[in-house]
């Protein structure tokens, strides 16, 4: 799902003027299914659409009137020297123009209204869908891409509806009205006028191809610029830049892409300028032909043609060429629009990997027994991460998982709230396979404090209420006291209303952790899961966290990934994991003298940490 231009990957070198084979291949396939799906979004707004159509129809006719009235102004006003007729037709002509403009205002209002409502529906649908996507989706997709899908792609759809669709409609109607009016007046001149229309297609098609390829390139650079901004202007990115002294290098990297962007933008705004010269020349041939043939008919063949008639034909021709030109040009917009829709549909069609199955069980009076039976798991097809994991955690008891880094400890706990599903074997909660339990009711029973504490930008109170919307002040204070963070909070001027900063970065690691423990205590789950941070905190901070966690481990069903001896000692049972397998289990006393992995870990890590 790499972020390419609409419908495709990045463009090629600058010198190219036409679509490459690759780009051609990446043009969206406009299938009937795609169109049906796109138009399905318009369905609920058919009444408004009919109104738009009526507006467009009326304004197309009104817009044509001044051209037709030119004939009257010349024949009945000027040539007959009739002042009243002259003024009348001039006023009528102005009035129709004004009328068409007013209707145009109504049309754009309804149009915008429809576009806003459709994109509102689409945004909601997309957000809802993305929220249901599995952890795997978020770890394997670029965050920038996901956000682009939600923002600029959907904004693009809005533009499609307000401009592309309505431009197709109004240009087609204007064209039809102009053709009818021309043929109604004089079929010979009308035919001569449209004979040169096919010539328009040549420059327009070339310009279209050029625009399409430039769009692709500019989208690619946009992605690149967004990528650089995302990486360097985020809090952690900036920190990295500063600490490695990369400011200049990043600036040059940015400037380089920015520079390329200028060249592209100039190219884009000049795209097809030469073709337009050719087009303008062609466009001026039509009226001359009409003057010539009209003149010959009038002078040599004594036809009924008047000067007014010829002027009307020329004026109508001018009216007709505009929509022809726009319609020929619209091909690129159309392709771009379809590409946008297919990008959005690609995301909407991604299956939701983990969801409640039909008739899933809602947990009533949960106890909190967890059992792993011969669990195998892999993130990627051919690399098994967990192999034959079996253990059980009885309600009220606690298990500590220890093992070398990368051995699969976090992976084991990810399977309990179903962030991922097992490859084979099973994980059960109160004797029921977690895949058979309603996801929401399962996750309500499980509380996790992960290695990386995530706090939302807001106040401490906001972050606490995230766990329990209706928590009272007293409940919050109690949870904070238990989590050993209350003293800190009350020492702050704003207390619970202290702002935690972007991702909680205004707080220390230890403070963040304790707030997240308080948040968990408010949620009051059946099972507590702690993924103890590997990063060292100072000993005061550590002991404060320890004091908060210890009573939970001793009194509640809990499972913890432990890196410190004191946490390990608080647990009822220890599982030692290595290379995705449980290699030892038992109590500290049993394991420390067994001469295995645990003893080694104890000697190299735990006892040292304790010192
Ligand atoms: P640590 O103590 O360092 O946190 P851990 O024992 O918790 O390590 P896991 O995070 O479970 O280890 O990772 C186990 C293995 O799975 C590692 O080799 C890791 O590279 C791999 N892994 C983890 N997450 C993913 C993922 N989302 N996609 C692919 N592989 C992953």
Each residue of 164-191: pLDDT tens digit?
Answer: 888 888 889 888 888 888 888 888 888 8
* Residue 225 confidence (pLDDT) above 50: yes
* Residue 127 confidence (pLDDT) above 90: yes
* Residue 24 confidence (pLDDT) above 70: no
400 within a domain of the structure (yes/no): yes
Determine if residue 430 is left, alpha or beta; phi over 0 gives left, psi from -120 to 50 gives alpha, anything else beta: left
Mutate to test the pocket of ligand 1, among 133, 406, 422, 559 (most ligand atoms within 8 A of CB): 406
Q: What is the mean pLDDT of residues 107-118?
A: 92
| One domain, residues 101 and 58 | yes
Sheet containing strand 432-433, strands side by side: 383-393, 370-380, 424-429, 432-433
Q: Which domain holds residue 54?
A: 30-186+326-353
235 within a domain of the structure (yes/no): yes
464 within a domain of the structure (yes/no): no
CA of 423 to the centre of ligand 1 (A): 16
**String of DSSP letters for 383-437:** EEEEEEEEEEE-TT-EEEEE-STTSSHHHHHHTTTTSS--SEEEEEETTEEGGGB
Q: What is the mean pLDDT of residues 478-488?
A: 87
15 within a domain of the structure (yes/no): no
CA of 409 to the centre of ligand 1 (A): 8
pTM (2 decimals)? 0.74
In whole numbers, what is the pLDDT of the chain averaged over residues?
A: 83
**pLDDT tens-digit profile of 274-324?**
777 877 888 888 888 888 888 888 888 767 778 888 888 888 888 888 888
The pLDDT, as a whole number, for residue 19 is 42
Residue closest by Cα to atom 23 of ligand 1: 411
Q: What is the mean pLDDT of residues 575-582?
A: 92
The pLDDT, as a whole number, for residue 219 is 74
| One domain, residues 258 and 347 | no
| One domain, residues 60 and 146 | yes
* Residue 406 confidence (pLDDT) above 60: yes
| CATH code of 566's domain | 3.40.50.300
| One domain, residues 148 and 178 | yes
| One domain, residues 149 and 208 | no
| One domain, residues 46 and 141 | yes
Which is nearest to 541 in space by CA: 602, 496, 466, 487?
487
* Residue 115 confidence (pLDDT) above 50: yes
Side-chain half-sphere CA neighbours of 361 within 13 A: 14
* Residue 450 confidence (pLDDT) above 90: no
344 within a domain of the structure (yes/no): yes
Q: Which two tokens stand for residue 231?
A: 């990486």
CA of 379 to the centre of ligand 1 (A): 9
Domain count, the chain: 3
| One domain, residues 396 and 284 | no
| One domain, residues 297 and 420 | no
* Residue 18 confidence (pLDDT) above 50: no
**pLDDT tens-digit profile of 490-544?**
888 888 888 887 767 777 778 888 888 889 888 888 999 988 765 556 667 777 7
Confidence of residue 547 (pLDDT cuts 50, 70, 90): confident
* Residue 26 confidence (pLDDT) above 70: no
424 within a domain of the structure (yes/no): yes
* CA angle at 176 for the pair 173 and 179, rounded to the nearest 5°: 150
* Residue 12 confidence (pLDDT) above 50: no
**pLDDT tens-digit profile of 192-212?**
888 887 777 777 777 777 877
Rounded Cα distance between 584 and 595, Å, is 11
313 within a domain of the structure (yes/no): no
* Residue 103 confidence (pLDDT) above 90: yes
* Residue 25 confidence (pLDDT) above 90: no
Burial class of residue 407 (count of CB atoms within 10 Å of its CB; 0-12, 13-18, 19+): buried
3-state DSSP percent of the chain in helix, strand and coil, to 5: 65, 10, 25
CA of 553 to the centre of ligand 1 (A): 24
Confidence of residue 227 (pLDDT cuts 50, 70, 90): confident
Query: 453, 534 in Cβ contact below 8 A?
Result: no
| One domain, residues 52 and 130 | yes
* Residue 559 confidence (pLDDT) above 60: yes
* Residue 40 confidence (pLDDT) above 60: yes
**pLDDT tens-digit profile of 52-61?**
989 988 988 8
| One domain, residues 363 and 248 | no
- Which residues surround ligand 1 with Cβ inside 6 Å? 139, 379-380, 385, 403, 405-411, 534
| One domain, residues 159 and 238 | no
| One domain, residues 39 and 175 | yes
222 within a domain of the structure (yes/no): yes
């Amino acid at each position: 799902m790499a972020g390419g231009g609409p419908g495709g990957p990045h463009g090629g070198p600058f010198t190219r003027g036409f679509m490459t084979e690759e780009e051609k291949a990446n043009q969206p396939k406009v299938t009937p299914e795609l169109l049906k799906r796109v138009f399905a979004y318009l369905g609920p707004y058919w009444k408004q659409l009919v109104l738009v159509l009526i507006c467009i129809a009326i304004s197309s006719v009104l817009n044509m009137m001044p051209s037709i009235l030119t004939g009257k102004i010349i024949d009945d006003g000027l040539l007959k020297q009739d002042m009243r007729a002259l003024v009348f037709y001039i006023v009528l002509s102005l009035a129709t123009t004004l009328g068409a403009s007013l209707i145009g205002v109504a049309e754009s209002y309804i149009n915008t209204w429809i576009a806003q409502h459709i994109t509102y529906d689409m945004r909601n649908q997309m957000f809802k869908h993305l929220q249901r996507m599995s952890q795997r989706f978020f770890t394997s997709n670029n965050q920038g891409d996901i956000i682009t899908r939600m923002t600029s792609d959907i904004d693009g759809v809005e533009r499609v509806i307000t401009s592309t669709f309505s431009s197709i409609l109004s240009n087609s109607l204007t064209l039809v009205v102009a053709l009818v009016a021309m043929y109604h007046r004089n079929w010979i001149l009308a035919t001569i006028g449209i004979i040169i229309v096919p010539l328009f297609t040549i420059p327009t098609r070339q310009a279209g191809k050029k625009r399409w390829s430039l769009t692709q390139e500019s989208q690619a650079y946009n992605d690149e610029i967004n990528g650089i901004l995302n990486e360097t202007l985020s809090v952690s990115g900036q920190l990295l830049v500063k600490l490695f002294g990369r400011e200049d290098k990043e600036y040059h990297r940015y400037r380089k892409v920015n520079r390329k962007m200028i060249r592209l933008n100039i190219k884009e705004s000049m795209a097809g300028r030469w073709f337009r010269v050719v087009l303008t020349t062609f466009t001026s041939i039509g009226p001359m032909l009409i003057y010539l043939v009209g003149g010959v008919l009038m002078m040599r063949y004594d036809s009924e043609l008047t000067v007014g008639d010829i002027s009307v034909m020329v004026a109508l021709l001018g009216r007709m060429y505009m929509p022809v030109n726009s319609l020929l040009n619209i091909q690129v917009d159309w392709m771009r629009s379809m590409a946008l829709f297919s990008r959005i549909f690609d995301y909407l069609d991604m299956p939701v990997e983990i969801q409640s199955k039909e008739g899933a069980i809602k947990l009533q009076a949960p106890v909190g027994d967890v059992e792993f039976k011969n669990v195998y798991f892999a993130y990627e097809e051919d690399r098994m991460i967990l192999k034959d994991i079996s253990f059980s955690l009885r309600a009220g008891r606690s298990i500590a998982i220890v093992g070398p880094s990368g051995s699969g400890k976090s992976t084991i706990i990810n399977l309990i709230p179903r962030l991922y599903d097992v490859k084979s074997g099973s994980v059960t909660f109160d004797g029921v396979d977690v895949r058979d339990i309603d996801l929401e009711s399962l996750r309500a029973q499980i509380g996790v404090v992960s290695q990386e504490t995530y706090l939302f930008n807001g106040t401490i109170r906001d972050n606490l209420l995230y766990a329990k919307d209706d928590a009272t002040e007293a409940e919050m204070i109690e949870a904070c006291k238990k989590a050993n963070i209350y003293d800190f909070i009350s020492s702050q001027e704003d207390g619970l209303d202290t702002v935690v900063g972007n991702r909680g970065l205004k707080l220390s690691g230890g403070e963040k952790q304790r707030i997240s423990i308080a948040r968990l205590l408010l949620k009051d789950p059946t099972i507590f899961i702690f993924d103890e941070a590997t990063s060292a905190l100072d000993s005061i901070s550590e002991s404060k966290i320890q004091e908060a966690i210890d009573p939970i481990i001793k009194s509640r069903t809990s499972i913890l990934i432990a890196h410190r001896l004191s946490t390990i000692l608080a647990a009822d049972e220890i599982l030692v994991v290595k290379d995705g397998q449980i290699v030892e289990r038992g109590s500290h006393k049993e394991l420390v003298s067994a001469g295995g992995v645990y003893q080694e870990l104890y000697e190299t890590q735990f006892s040292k940490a304790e010192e």
